[in-house]
Structure 1
Amino acid sequence: MSQLSPLFQKASAEVVDFHRFFEGWYDAATADGIDFGRCERTFGQAFRMIPPTGRIFDRNETIELIRANRASFRGDFTIEISDIRASFETDDAIVLTYVEAQSRAGKYSRRQASALFTASSSAPNGVEWQHLHETWLQMPDN
């Protein structure tokens, strides 16, 4: 497994790019210029997400959650991605881990994420999200 494999490069780019999508979609000043179709094209049909709360969301629930949070911030939402690593890889699937730091209206948090991607020529960056599991490293400040 190489951190420089083409699949690692595609999946890493997808992690960063998709979080840039969130920053734009969630900001009232930029949400109108964001293509929501990008979100719908990125998740595989069997996608599941487990956020730090432990609740399991399927693909449709995840998409609706993201859609509902459109323009919910006023320039005070940022995400930083760091420490992207591959932990498993085959010819057409890869598991990445990464740290996601968020600042939401002055409240800072960090989470560790692991995500399963599969190759897909029709998805942004050539990979689809199949599974995402997040856990708190630092809960939001009060």
Structure 2
Amino acid sequence: MRPTSAHERTTDVTPRRRRARGSRVPRVHRRLAGRTPTGREYGRAEAVLPDDFEIVSPTGERRDGPQIRADLRNGHGAFADSDPEFEIRVANVRTRVERDEHCLVTYEEGQRIDGDWDWRVSSGLFRRAADAPNGVEWVHLHETRLSEDAEPPT
């Protein structure tokens, strides 16, 4: 891994992966805030969350691809009443390992609900998939909540 500056650490991915990751978070944000018409973004999300996808949440709960896809559909507008407005921030994105078919990425994510930020550090494993948007799909996501006294990323 060659990144040395903060900017390099947050952008050390191929342009295709950078575009894929950068475009996905705002879409999820809009869906949960209730600002995307129902059904508009589902096809793309379902295409990158295969059946064998697994997420381990900060509480230790494990969910697979079908469960997460259902959560996204059922979560439309879940935080529409958040004051201030619901927001997701992603910082310190780093490619940790990249092989022919897989790429391991770490990042920090904050979610603001009703003014309170919940920060976590995540490890996401991706694999090449010719039929997925941008040629990449999620395999695994592991989230660990940062302690309340931890400094939020900049």
Q: TM-score, normalised by structure 1?
A: 0.84
Q: CA–CA distance in 1 between the matches of 2:87 and 2:40?
A: 16
Give the CA deviation at 1:114. 0.3
**5 Å matches for 1:62-101?**
62-74=68-80, 76-101=85-110
Aligned to 1:43: 49
Structure 2 SS opposite 1:80: strand
Please, which of 116, 124, 131 is the counterpart of residue 122 of structure 1? 131
Aligned with residue 102 of structure 1, among 103, 111, 117: 111
Residue 58 (structure 1) aligns with: 64
Please provide the CA RMSD for this pair: 2.1
Q: Could you tell me which runs of 5 or more consecutive residues in structure 1 were left unpaired when the two chains were aligned.
A: none
Q: Shift of the alpha carbon at 1:15?
A: 2.8
Change (3 A) 1:32 1:67: closer
Q: Which one has a larger percent strand, Structure 1 or Structure 2?
A: 1
**CA 1:10–1:124: 2 relative to 1, 3 Å:** same
Aligned length: 137
Contact 2:95 2:104 in 1 (8 A): yes
Letter in 2 for 1:99: E
Are the structure 2 counterparts of residues 125 and 105 from structure 1 closer, same or farther at C-alpha, using a change threshold of 3 Å? Answer: farther
When Rg is computed on C-alpha atoms for both structures, the one with the higher figure is 2
Give, in whole Å, the separation in 1 of the partners of 2:51 and 2:32: 24
